[in-house]
Amino acid sequence: MDHQPYVPTPVLYTADGQPLYTAPPRTAPIAVYRPAPTAHLTHPQAAVPIEPASVYLPTPAPVPGRDVWPARLIAGGIGAGAAGVGLAFLFQAIAAATTGLGLLAAVLALVWLLKNTRGSGGGGRAGAVNLSVNVSNHNR
C-alpha cells in the first residue's frame, strides 16, 4: 500500500487533444463532491448533498479548423479500390456464367442436329417419295 500523499502529475496536451504525461498517470482517491446549501432553499430536506461515484475530468476541446484531408483521400481510395475489386469479381462471374450457358446451348443444338438429320441428305425425311409427273405436248 502506498502511504505517500497524492501529488497530481502535470499534464500537457498536444494540438489534437492527446495528453502527454511527464510520468505515468497515478490514480487519485475518489473525491466526494458536496455542494454548499444555497440561500434560496427554505425547506431543510431540499438541500440533499450529491455524492457522485467518481470524478469526471473535462475532455479537451478539439482544435477547430483541423482538416484531415490525407486521411479522407486514403479512405476514399481504399473504398474505390474495394468497389473496383468487387465489380471485377461480379463481371468475371457473369462472364463465366454466360460462357457456360453458351457452351450448353451449343451442345444441345449439336445433339438436336445429329438426332434430326440422317446421312441420306434427304433433309431428315426417310421413306418413300410420291412423285407424279404430267407431260403434255401441245405441238402435236
Beta-strand relationship, 11-13 and 19-21: antiparallel
Question: How confident is the model at residue 131, as a pLDDT?
Answer: 83
Which residues are paired to 11 by β-bridges?
21
- Measured CA to CA, the distance from residue 6 to residue 29 in angstroms comes to 8
Question: How confident is the model at residue 56, as a pLDDT?
Answer: 60
Residues in the chain with pLDDT values less than 70:
1-4, 6-9, 21-29, 37-66, 118-127, 140
